[in-house]
A and B are shown apart, each in its own frame.
Chain A
Amino acid sequence: MTLGRALLQLLVFPGLLYAVPVAWLMLWIERKLTARLQGRIGPPFYQPFFDFVKLLAKRPLPRPPLQALAMSALPVLAVASTLGALALLPVFPHGGGFGGDLVLLVALLEVPPLCGVLAGFVSRSLYGELGATREAVLSIAYSLPFLAALVALAAAANSLSLSVISQQAMWQVRVPALIALALCLPVKLRVNPFSVANAEQEIYAGATTEFEGPRLALWELAHGLEWVALTGMWAVLAFPSADAPWPLRASLFVAISLLLVLAIATVAAATARLKLAQAARMYWLWGFAIGLIALVVAMVSP
């Protein structure tokens, strides 16, 4: 992968220039769909953009220097690592030898939840600490099926490269692995029925309770980018589209991402929040069962 191509992926597609508007679009789809299903009209499509600008224009509150530094650096790190994860997605697979490294992708996708946990504790708010604790417990819970599914895919394709996996993984492995991954998306995106970590009305806003103005704007952006990155990863793994011309490949990527957002938002609007123990049990039992099926099939099949 040449430097120019890497920059193109990071800054244009599927990186910054594509991801930020689409992140706002996905945040809007979630809110609009929830409103429509509740019989309301819901916010206009430019809502997340104006929320972001308004939060950026608020004056930050005075805080102790170290806390202020940590509270600004953590959301920046979350945004940066999610953008990095997006740049790794091999939407155009024939770009030299580097087709998106699975280990690096998983590591980068784990950074925002980790930043969230640290942010909750560093804000020294009771609700922030509660949200951070829940986030930490949940990330242990969903990591099991999430990693099991990815390991199964890697074993099936006998490679750690995302583009090779999306081409070569067998469908009997791919289907249960994709189901397990889809099950992990709502909790990673903190929406119902797994909105335990940011439980509004219950612990206010969880880890971001104490964040204001520009810092909160960055968290909102990081959250939107997580939507793009996680649904994008699922879309890349779901379709072996190497033979298709690039416009078709790119539009398939966008279409599958948006369909997945619609599905997640519909489930979110139709369900109520589970308790922490229920959510964790669900991932360790049913999530891991599906992941294990994928893993066993991948090991057994030739």
Chain B
Amino acid sequence: MGILDDLVRTARRRSPWLFHLNAGSCNGCDIELVTCLTPRYDVEQLGIRLEGSPRHADIIVVSGPVTRTTRVAVETVYAQVPDPKVVVALGSCPASCNVFAGSPTIEGPLDRIIPVDVYVPGCPPRPDAIMAGIADAIAILAGGGRT
């Protein structure tokens, strides 16, 4: 079973598929995340793919401070992703609600609603920082992730 476990761990490290969830973000972090797929950064050479369906994903990347209307979507999508999975909080908003803290329409920060594994701070974070955060997420995923 040792070889099989090693193979699965390697496969998880080499093929992390992301699902990007916008929970009321201003679109700044979203643009920076998509930048990672462009020729300049090209994360596909690391096996990373941005998937349209949460059923296909391994890593959920959440941007935005989680507004009242997106809370249900965050919970639903978290339940839709099959185990093992990892959650990355992209930017300052899901980490601390940023400038929106205290607003009556905000239900964040994200870790009040779903468990978060990796925080990528910044408003917005640079693509390099996002890739470093995803690398941390991949390490957690290879070790079995959140089950």
Contacts and interface: CB of A to CB of B under 8 A. Distances in A.
Chains A and B are bound partners: yes
Classify the secondary structure of B's interface with A: loop
A52 to B, nearest CB: 8
A43 B16 CA distance: 12
Contacts of A49: 11
Contacts of A127: 53
Interface string B1-38: 00000011011101100000000000000000000001
B68 interface: no
A161 B63 CA distance: 58
Interface string A46-63: 110111011001111100
B44 A43 contact: yes
B15 A47 contact: yes
Interface string A31-47: 10001001111111011
B99 to A, nearest CB: 31
Given A57-B11, A212-B82, A213-B82, A44 B45 contact: yes
A103 B44 CA distance: 41
Contacts of A44: 45, 47
Contacts of A59: 82-84, 147
Given A35-B44, A40-B42, A210 B55 contact: yes
Contact of B10 (A50, A58, A60, A212): A50
A54 B11 contact: yes
A212 B55 contact: yes
A71 B40 CA distance: 39
A62 B144 CA distance: 19
A204 B38 CA distance: 20
A200 B37 CA distance: 15
Interface in A114-149: 127
| Chain B interface category by residue count | 20 to 34
Interface in B22-79: 38-39, 42, 44-45, 47, 51-53, 55-56, 58
B98 to A, nearest CB: 28
Contact of B53 (A38, A46, A204): A204
A46 B56 contact: no
B42 A46 contact: no
A51 B147 CA distance: 19
Contacts of B82: 58-61, 212-213
B8 A54 contact: yes
A82 interface: no
A42 B83 contact: no
Given A40-B42, A58-B84, A61-B82, A50 B14 contact: yes
A47 B145 CA distance: 21
- Of B7, B10, B55, B82, chain A has the most CB atoms within 10 Å of the CB of B55
Interface in B95-138: none
Nearest to B80: A61
Contacts of B55: 61, 209-212, 216
Contacts of B83: 58-59
Given A50-B14, A53-B7, A54-B12, A40 B56 contact: no
A71 to B, nearest CB: 11
A59 B47 CA distance: 20
Contacts of A54: 8, 11-12, 14-15, 58
Interface of A: 31, 35, 38-44, 46-47, 49-51, 53-54, 57-61, 127, 200-201, 204-205, 208-213, 216
**Considering the complex of A and B, which 10 residue pairs feature the smallest CB-CB distances, nearest first?**
A204-B52, A53-B11, A212-B55, A54-B11, A39-B39, A50-B14, A40-B42, A50-B11, A57-B8, A41-B45
Given A40-B39, A50-B14, A216-B55, 13 more contacts: A40-B38, A42-B42, A44-B45, A47-B15, A51-B15, A54-B11, A58-B82, A59-B84, A61-B82, A127-B53, A205-B51, A212-B82, A213-B82
11 contacts: A38-B39, A42-B45, A47-B47, A50-B14, A50-B15, A58-B84, A200-B52, A201-B52, A209-B53, A211-B55, A216-B55
